[in-house]
Amino acid sequence: MCLAVPARITEIRGNVAEVEVAGVIKTVGLDLVPEAKVGEYVLVHAGFAIQTVDEEEALKTLELFKEIMAHEVS
Amino acid sequence: MKFLSAYRDAALARSILDAIRKISKKESKLMEVCGTHTVAIFRHGIRDLLPQNITLISGPGCPVCVTPNRHVDEAIELCRRPDVILTTYGDMMKVPGSESSLAAEKAAGADIRIVYSTMEAVDLARENPDREVVFFAIGFETTSPTIAAAILRAEREGLDNFTVVGAQKLVPEAIRALLSDDRIGIDGFICPGHVSALIGVKPYEFIAGEFGIPAVITGFEPVDILQGIYMLVRQIEKGEARVEIQYNRSVPSEGNPHAMDLLFKVFEVTDALWRGIGCIPGTGLKLRPEYRKYDAVKKFGIEITDDREHPGCKCGDILRGLKTPLECGLYGTACLPERPVGPCMVSVEGTCAAYYKYGKRRE
Amino acid sequence: MAEDKILLAHGSGGKLSHELVKELFLPVFDNDILNRLDDRAEVEAGGVRLAFTTDSFVVNPPFFPGGDIGKLAVCGTVNDLAMGGAVPLYLSAGFIIEEGFPMDALRTIVSSMRQTAEEAGARIVCGDTKVVEKGSVDQIFINTSGIGLVPEGVQISGSLARPGDKVIINGFIGDHGMAVMAERQGLSFRDSIVTDSAPLNGLVKAMLEVSRDIHVLRDPTRGGVATTLNEIAGQSSVGIVLEEGAIPVRDQVLAACEILGFDPLYVANEGKLLAVVPAETADLMVEIMKRHPYGKESAIIGEVVADHPGRVVLATGIGGKRIVDMLVGEQLPRIC
């Protein structure tokens, strides 16, 4: 029920932010994540940022899974 | 973004599939609640890659599919007023109401505008003070806070020409209704990652705690989905029942409390009618009394009494995983993507549309 | 066909458009040339093989990143001719203009048309102008018709794809559709996406010099690559298998599609062609195409098979399979 794309905040102007993903730039509402900062990644849905995305967690999970898979298949 | 493509990595996906095939022994029926998951699963061809003992069934998490005819009829009646600009997400354009659809009304001359964001609807209200801008509000907890935010913006700007037709829904109690129905035997839930980004883990705890069924909050890339399925299967094989988060990069366990506060500032929980299923308590949202002036149906005195659904349409059973589209008599014959009868065929993420588009036909 | 009114979807190039042509126009106009339903009609006149085609352009807005409706109007018809291997010679240009349309805008459009026709080596030799009241058309509509010469020994048709053939595209897909859509949806780009609109007859000439044995050529405009390949699969009664990883799409176009909920396979192109060629010539063909300015990112994206005739199947990046259907209606931005 939810198309949402992770994008990086490049500029904040009041309660809107300019975000960028793979060279595409969009202006989104920051009402739901007012604490987000420039340089952070947010999930963009229906023209609003709805949550921050933790890049570190993303990479950790990938590493964790690679380990689990290596263990499983051995 | 490098880690986005990492979650599409073919080698990693294949190694997770290998692991699933290795550990999965029991007959397992897993439900992907969310329509976007249904589409992603089809889009990457995941269903046929899983071992035979795992069945994926699609659930009712498609806001378009479960919007009752009545709300579509309300939007249609509103768009026929010459003073109204009706704004809607693209998703709702082709959904058939009792007699017509927004697309048909647009063809007949109604001022209907597709928006990607409620902010655009608020902009239209500001720019057109002599017109009434009505927004057709659908969605689950991912979308509803954005609608609340728009209403609050309209309030701050003192706009008196912005209203909404409210058809939003909530997920967790709908899952409870599915679990309480003895006919539906689900062994594990693939929970909607983006809804969870807002509501967090707690609302799902009853699935494991009260019903003893595992649940994994899952993202939408192919590696996410396979990881989520692996985690479910791992629990099923060990006879465990917990709520786990696979999609931890976007889902902190507390969700987004600020957004949920905004949501419940404007809306309160109510019962809701799910198309084809009926009334499910605690799954709807209605405007709080202090925000009722933003209710389009109330403001314009719209009352639909003759809404009706097609008798042969099996969307209700399909949404609950009781039937597959192939078991609906209208599927692929009277009900086609270019001529849909029920919403499951219209919505891109409707089970029937996904089945049809991605190839499951009665050949 | 159950509709009693024309819907927007009837003009979007997908399923309903095809139904309208097959069920309303064909039975009435009925003749063997038309019934072949190729992009251009091949006719004989005084022992000479000519190709004849027509196309109308209603794009809104008339000016978009990298081009305008004039350029599109010439390229569209030139390319329809080129898809039959025909050398474009003469074009007509019919204008339907809304009262109040700025004269300077018209000058720019007409100048684009001349430039593009010159590049294609064709001349605009006749035309017509109508002006209608404000509100009767959306700014400006253009129709172009074209005549071309079909060289000896060239037999290209949508029905000639054969199992074993390879499917080639001459570059990135989705640029035009997203360039136009993005403006409308408030997306902008760090490196602007511009239309890929281009006259392709020069590229086709280079391809024919590699081999005359090209089975199918078609430009995937409205409805995208997916719709066009479905047409070919249907006309030739063959199956087509695409390799997801081999399809060239710019990162930006992919990202824009993800945001709006679009599938690049269904997005319109204006400077692309799909070629179906025998396997033996495919690699050389791609090499030669890459040397041409309009073919730099050419690639083999799939092959023709005997299985599932009429169906296009995609092998997904993770090793799965899914059917790629024809576009139904138009893609609309979505949030679900």
Quote the CA–CA distance of B231 and B218 in Å, as a whole number: 10
Domain containing C269 — which CATH number? 3.90.650.10
Helix B10-23 × helix B222-238 angle, to 10°: 20
Nearest neighbour of A1 by CB, restricted to B4, B153, B192 = B192
Amino acid sitting at position C70: G
Q: Do B349 and C336 touch (CB under 8 A)?
A: yes
What average pLDDT does the structure give for chain B? 92
> Do residue B117 and residue A46 have CB atoms under 8 angstroms apart?
yes
Contact B49 C318 (CB under 8 A): yes
Residues in chain A with CB shorter than 8 Å from the CB of B23 are 72
Query: Which of C116, C122, C53 shows the shortest CA–CA distance to C81?
Result: C53
**Spatial distance between the Cα atoms of C218 and C163, rounded to a whole number of angstroms:** 18
Please give the single-letter amino acid code of residue C225: V
Contact B189, B33 (CB under 8 A): yes
Angle, alpha carbons B330-B34-B248 (nearest 5°): 165
pLDDT band at B316 (very low <50, low <70, confident <90, very high): confident
Q: d(Cα B129, Cα C235) in Å, to the nearest integer?
A: 53
Q: Give the span between the Cα atoms of B63 and B36, in whole angstroms.
A: 10
For chain C, count helices (H), then strands (E). Answer: 10, 15
List Cα–Cα distances, B310 to B332, B340, B341, in angstroms. 15, 11, 7
Domains and CATH numbers, chain B: 2-63+171-245 (3.40.50.11750), 69-168+276-299 (3.40.50.11740), 315-356 (no CATH)
C137 and C245 both lie in a single domain: no
Q: Which of A1, A19, A24, A25 to mutate to test the interface with C (most CBs of C within 10 A)?
A: A24
pLDDT for C295 equals 98
* Beta strand C87-98 pairing with C123-132: parallel
Domain annotation covers residue C84: yes
- Do residues C137 and C183 share a domain? no
Distance from CA of B64 to the nearest CA of A (A): 9
Is residue C202 located within the same domain as residue C253? yes
> Looking at the complex, does the CB of residue A31 fall below 8 Å from at least one CB of chain B?
yes
Q: Do C335 and A22 touch (CB under 8 A)?
A: no
Distances from the Cα of B21 to the Cαs of A71, A72, B80, B229, C78, in angstroms?
14, 10, 55, 11, 54
∠ Cα A59 A64 A66 (to 5°) = 95
**Residue from B212, B185, B193 nearest B35 by CA:** B193
Which amino acid makes up residue B311? P
**Chain C residue with the nearest C-alpha to that of B104:** C7
Q: What's the full length of chain A, in residues?
A: 74
For residue B349, give the 3-state DSSP assignment. coil
pLDDT at B321: 84
Integer CA distances (angstroms), C67 to B92, C75, C118, C120, C190, in order: 32, 11, 16, 16, 18
Counted domains in chain A: 1
Domain presence at residue C76: yes
Chain A interface test: which of B8, B14, B65, B117 (most A C-beta within 10 Å):
B117
- ipTM value for the complex: 0.93
Domain-located, residue C74 = yes
Closest partner residue to A22 among C182, C252, C336, by Cβ?
A: C252
By the 8 A CB rule, do C242 and C123 touch? Answer: no
Same domain, C143 and C171: no
If interface means Cβ-Cβ distance under 8 Å, which residues of chain A face chain C? 1-3, 5, 20-27, 44-46
Contact state of B358 with C16 under an 8 Å Cβ cutoff: no
Domain that residue C307 falls in: 166-324
Positive or negative, the Cα torsion across B322, B326, B329, B333? Answer: positive
Pairing mode, strands B132-137 and B162-166: parallel
Residue among C191, C259, C335 minimizing CB distance to A26:
C259
Which chain A residues touch B139 with a CB distance below 8 Å?
1, 46
- B44 and C335 within 8 Å at the Cβ level: the answer is no
Q: What is the pLDDT of residue B4?
A: 67
Q: Where a domain ends, among C107, C122, C149?
A: C149
Alpha carbon separation from B3 to A2, A44, B11, B195, B221 (Å, rounded): 20, 16, 15, 21, 11
User: What pLDDT sits at residue B343?
Assistant: 81
Residue A57: which CATH number?
2.30.30.140
- B-contacting chains (≥3 CB pairs under 8 Å): A, C
Question: Do C34 and C41 touch, CB atoms closer than 8 A?
Answer: yes
Are residues C131 and C56 part of one domain? yes
Judged on CB neighbours under 10 Å (0-12, 13-18, 19+), C128 is: exposed
- Is residue C85 one of the residues assigned to a domain? yes
Q: Write the secondary structure of B80-111 as one string of H (helix), E (strand) and C (coil).
A: CCCCEEEEECHHHCCCCCCCCCHHHHHHCCCC
pLDDT per residue, tens digit, chain C (336 aa), is 778 888 877 887 778 888 899 999 999 999 998 888 877 899 998 989 999 999 999 988 899 899 999 999 999 999 999 999 999 999 999 999 999 999 999 999 999 999 999 999 999 999 999 999 998 898 999 999 999 999 988 989 888 999 999 999 999 999 999 998 887 787 888 888 999 999 999 999 999 999 999 999 999 998 999 999 999 999 999 999 999 999 999 999 999 999 998 999 999 999 999 999 999 999 999 999 999 999 999 999 999 999 999 999 999 999 999 999 888 777 888 888
Q: Report the C-alpha gap between B37 and B17 in whole angstroms.
A: 17
pLDDT band at B362 (very low <50, low <70, confident <90, very high): low
R_g of chain C computed on alpha carbons: 19
Q: Cα angle vertex C238, ends C236, C239, to 5°? A: 140
Indicate the SS3 state at residue B29: strand
Check CB contact under 8 Å for A25 and C251: no
User: What type of residue sits at position C98?
Assistant: E
Q: Is residue C156 part of a domain?
A: no
pLDDT at B172: 96
Q: Which domain holds residue A48?
A: 5-73
pLDDT for B36-76, tens place per residue? 999 999 999 999 999 999 999 988 999 888 898 899 999 99
**CA dist., res. B336 & res. B357, Å (int):** 10
Mind listing the pLDDT tens digit of every residue in chain A (74 residues)?
689 999 999 999 999 999 999 899 999 999 999 999 999 999 999 999 999 999 888 888 888 888 888 887 66
Question: What mean pLDDT do residues B184-202 have?
Answer: 96
Q: Could you tell me how far CA C12 lies from the centroid of its own chain?
A: 12
B262 touches chain A (CB under 8 A): yes
Distance CA C295, CA C70 (A): 22
Q: What is the CATH number of the domain that holds C115?
A: 3.30.1330.10
Query: What's the structural domain count of chain C?
Result: 2
Q: What does pTM read for this prediction?
A: 0.91
Do C42 and C111 reside in the same domain of the chain? yes
**In-domain check, residue C289:** yes
Closest CB from C182, C255, C336 relative to A22: C255
Distance, in Å, from the CA atom of B330 to the CA atom of B340, rounded to the nearest integer, reads: 10
* Chain C residue closest in CA terms to B118: C335
CA-nearest of C257, C143, C245, C122 to C189 is C257
Q: Is residue C1 part of a domain?
A: no
Q: Rounded to an integer, what distance in angstroms lies between the CA atom of residue B269 and that of residue A32?
A: 19
Which residue in chain C is spatially nearest to B37 when comparing CA positions?
C336
